[in-house]
Amino acid sequence: MSQLPLEGIRVLDLSRILAGPWAGQYLADLGAEVIKIERAGKGDDARYYGPPYLADESGAPTSENFFHLSCNRGKKSVTVDLASPEGQEIIRTIAKDCDVLIENFKVGDLARYRLDYVSMREVNPRLVYCSLTGFGQTGPYRKRPGYDAVFQGMSGLMSVTGLPDGEPGGGPMKMGPSIADIVTGLNAVIGILAALHHRDRNGGTGQQLDLSLFESMVAALSHYVQIFLTSGVPPFRRGTQGNGGVPSQMFRCADGGIMLTAGNDAQYHRMCTAIGHPEMASDPRFNESLTRIANRVALSAELDAIFMQKSTAHWLALLEAAEVPSGPIYNFKEVFEDPHIVARGLRVEVDHPYNGRTALVGSPLHFSDTPIDRYGAPPLLGQHTDEILARYGFDETRRTELRGKRVI
């Protein structure tokens, strides 16, 4: 097996739930050793989000739930009581040997334990210390708690997601996935890699990264935000319709639905021919991009009536042949049965102590020379405590003593 891109990098992951663990999982995929610190006796809060739970070989549910499995693959779990002086010393000892520390405690919490950035840079000046919080380390909201759904609302995402006001079911809508956590976790990976490059190639030292879910989500709204910054007018909800080329929306067919985007005039004209209505390409209401935008409602109504006449397979075959961007509306079963997803290897299986082999979503990153061709299972709670502590000089007698005190 080839070397992975981040082999030799060691990460101390003190984070919980999703944004921080998501960042740590990406780093683990890339070859970093990620040591996940969990509360002694309890573990990451994410371990309590369920069902569903992973089934063992007999089909009975185990303690491993979907949430933990989704964002902790490839890590090593060590249980430590951060509130105890002995636990704090364990963290400082491991941190001396790490390149990165990830944490998502409330602002000021870790300072009580001398595990904040100011304290830890004295322990290890080369440490890249990544802090993820709801609102960041500064600003009037810095001490507020928050979860993904809060930031979907505050960022403006919900204001542009869902059906328009006045339509049945209209109103702001939360996206299904915890997208603010995911985006912030990816931003953390970008920032960590940039800070490591600065440290190792530009003569720098360690530094703190300050990431907030609120800002990450606003920044991720991209061209939607720019509509407002350019015009002063907030964009409105369009359901499945896009804000670019028209048509760009879901159309219902006789047996399901398709998503279609004709992003320019050439694609639109090819679409008209493919669906058997070439006259729509020369219709003065629809023949150019600007006229289609102005007459979006009328165009959508005509296309709705056309697509309802045939099956999804019928239309998708015609649209693909005409090179018009389109696709089916899948459920997850259909996603992982899709031959392209199968060919790309996005579904992976890892060895797991509870049921032999467990399916996970693999990394979407494909490297020519350092492929991500192996994965570790998400760890059981405290699975690697003895291994890691022994590495750092905590012998069996000392570990037994710490267990007796419930430090580990």
Catalytic amino acids?
181
Per-position DSSP letters for 214-242, written without gaps between them = HHHHHHHTHHHHHHHHHHS------TT--
Distance CA 286, CA 283 (A): 5
Helix (H) or strand (E) holding 194: helix 179-201
Please provide residue 100's backbone torsions phi and psi, each rounded to the nearest 5 degrees: -140, 140
Q: Would you give the DSSP letter of residue 65? A: E
* Residue in this structure with the two tokens 């709801």, named with its chain if needed: 134
The answer to whether the beta carbons of residues 7 and 30 sit under 8 Å apart is no
Distance CA 318, CA 324 (A): 9
* Cβ-based neighbour number of residue 165 at 10 Å: 10
From 386, 406, 350, select the one nearest 72 (Cα to Cα): 350
Distance CA 49, CA 297 (A): 42
The sheet with strand 10-13 has its strands ordered as 76-79, 33-38, 10-13, 100-103, 128-133, 208-212
Give CB contacts under 8 A, 24+ apart, made by 41-44: 41/79, 41/406, 43/77, 43/79, 43/381, 43/382, 44/16, 44/17, 44/68, 44/72
Distance CA 232, CA 160 (A): 15
* Residue in this structure with the two tokens 């491993």, named with its chain if needed: 64
Is the bond leading into 172 cis (omega within 30 degrees of zero)? no
From 139, 145, 146, 151, select the one nearest 219 (Cα to Cα): 151
Pairing of strands 53-55, 61-65: antiparallel
